[in-house]
Amino acid sequence: MDDQEKVQSRPVLIVAWLAMFLVSFDVASLTIAMPSIADDMSVGTSIASWGLLSYMLVMSGLLLPAGSLLHIYGTRSVLLTGLCLFALGSGACALSETMLELIAYRAIQGVGGAILYVTGPAMIRRMVPERLQSGAFALFTTAASAGMSLGPPIGGLLTYNLGWPWIFLVNLPLCAVGAIVILFSAKSGGMTETEDSNIDLVGLLLFVVAVTCIVFGLNQGRELGWHSTVILGCFVTGLLALAGFIFRELRSNDPALDLRLFKRPAFSLGNIGVFGLTFVTGGLLFLMPFYLEWYRGFDTGMSGYMMLVQPVSMILVSAGIAFAVTTDRITGFLAAGTGTLVLAMVILAFAAHSTWLLIIAGALGLIGVSRGLYLPKAQHLVMSRTTRTESGVGSAVNSIVRVLAQMFGIVVFETVFSQRYLKPAMNGYGDPTTTQDFLQLSTAFQTVFWLAAATALIALVPCLLPLADKFISPKIRENLPDDPGTA
């Protein structure tokens, strides 16, 4: 029976892994190709950046509706729709002739990406036996690192040899593989199960408006001016929409987001911890290439190889946990992951321009190790405190936390860095030409690394769970799944 359970779980893991890989690979490969796209379409970097922003904004706004759709139409139908939309958007992007077309088609990709991004954790929670879920989540978290690590080299090779449209066309056979696995294994794996539910369209609209306005304001504040009418209007509109969303959800009999989930300490504290860790690692993913090229003096190729250290180390640690670690004592892994990330930031903060390269590579490896130790257990903790029928919404919330944390990390770290390194934004902006420029550049990076070390401590919040559980009401405790083990 144990072997049979593992065999039945494999198609679920394959599809969940592939869905997350597609989303991560697409973002990473496109980042490498953006200079070529901007040149071909004769646009500047500010306009070209919307090729990334339109995708991320649509994804963040639709993650919650995607979670609700899982309950209404079943995992099989929703996941097939997500793969089809992602493939359709990819094919259209490859045929784009103007930047406006590319931005619009990237938005279609974002709809499919939101479905793919949120489906994986819900599938594992609903279809994998409880005792196998810890290992399943550990394997699942390697998908994002695999996509992020393979995206730059493959995207670069495709763009250089065949042209940038091929970074979109390569998505098509991967979507086809996922669809085939679903069609041949869905009925035996429970992918057709549905539950009666309704979508709160007004609540979802308020949520989409809130997320879009706040994210746009944070991403464009420096460019348009923090005190500009547009940015202030975005923040006011976003906050009002968020307040309206919370007010409506608390009084709805069928809410889009059941805020009662946050009364469960494991769910709320686990999401806070994931936000803290992803905030730091997401911001670093953006800033580290600049550190390696501007401060360390590496070329783009060498920086790319150095950046591989982080996802590879995470994959190895996550896979090791999945296959070799049997304990479900979660908080120990969370504390170890947080401590490892703080140590990496301290090393980078103290590192000088002449610091041995192996030490820098070691710090990048520690960042990957911290993610490998932390994220599988944190995701298991969050999802284990949702019932099977709540898994779609719970996965959507956890996905929203990760996407927003990464975007906020990028915005905050970039803003702090740019305020400390005040050289005018012109050609050669990253090349310090005087001793004073170089000292200012060094100070800017050190400030960000110390900020990252301090912010990473937020990830320790779930370690308070044994204490918080003592204060949970008996009524809430009665409706919770069995405790996965947090001591």
> Which range is least confidently modeled, 19-28, 265-274, 317-326?
317-326
Token pair 């805020």: residue: 259
Each residue of 403-456: pLDDT tens digit? 778 777 877 887 788 777 765 444 444 555 567 777 888 888 999 999 999 999
> pLDDT value at position 411?
74
Domain ranges of the chain: 1-199, 200-255, 261-487
> Which range is least confidently modeled, 42-51, 174-183, 402-411?
42-51
Q: Determine how many CB atoms are found less than 10 A away from the CB of residue 352.
A: 8
- The band of 355, judged by pLDDT with boundaries at 50, 70 and 90, is confident
Question: Is 1-199's fold the same as 261-487's?
Answer: yes
42-59 mean pLDDT: 70
Each residue of 142-174: pLDDT tens digit? 787 778 777 777 777 787 788 889 989 999 998
* Measured CA angle at 267 (ends 264, 270), to 5 deg: 135
> pLDDT at residue 179 above 60?
yes
> pLDDT at residue 280 above 80?
yes
- Single out the residue of 42, 46, 422 nearest to residue 224, CA to CA: 46
267-295 mean pLDDT: 83
> pLDDT value at position 131?
65
- The band of 469, judged by pLDDT with boundaries at 50, 70 and 90, is low
Each residue of 357-406: pLDDT tens digit? 899 999 999 998 998 888 878 877 777 767 666 666 677 677 778 877 87
> pLDDT value at position 429?
45
Of residues 326 and 94, which shows the higher confidence score? 94
Ranked by mean pLDDT, the top range of 86-90, 111-115, 263-267, 287-291 is 86-90
Query: Are 59 and 113 within 8 A, CB to CB?
Result: yes
> pLDDT value at position 168?
92
> pLDDT at residue 191 above 90?
no
Token pair 């901007």: residue: 38
- The band of 466, judged by pLDDT with boundaries at 50, 70 and 90, is low
> Which range is least confidently modeled, 96-105, 198-207, 429-438?
429-438
Ranked by mean pLDDT, the top range of 53-57, 95-99, 403-407 is 95-99
Q: C-alpha distances in angstroms, 481 versus 75, 112, 118, 252, 390?
A: 21, 31, 21, 24, 11
CA dist., res. 445 & res. 450, Å (int): 9
> pLDDT at residue 48 above 70?
no
Q: In CATH, what number does 1-199 get?
A: 1.20.1250.20
> pLDDT value at position 486?
47
> pLDDT value at position 451?
95
- The band of 282, judged by pLDDT with boundaries at 50, 70 and 90, is confident
Ranked by mean pLDDT, the top range of 129-133, 226-230, 463-467 is 226-230
What average pLDDT does the chain have?
A: 77
CA dist., res. 264 & res. 420, Å (int): 40
| CATH code 1.20.1250.20 for 261-487 | yes
Query: Are 161 and 50 within 8 A, CB to CB?
Result: no
> pLDDT at residue 4 above 80?
no
Query: Are 122 and 74 within 8 A, CB to CB?
Result: no
What's the one-letter identity of residue 257? L
Sign of CA dihedral 91, 92, 97, 103: negative
102-128 mean pLDDT: 82
> pLDDT at residue 76 above 70?
yes
CA dist., res. 385 & res. 390, Å (int): 9
- Single out the residue of 314, 409, 406, 402 nearest to residue 118, CA to CA: 402
Of residues 305 and 486, which shows the higher confidence score? 305
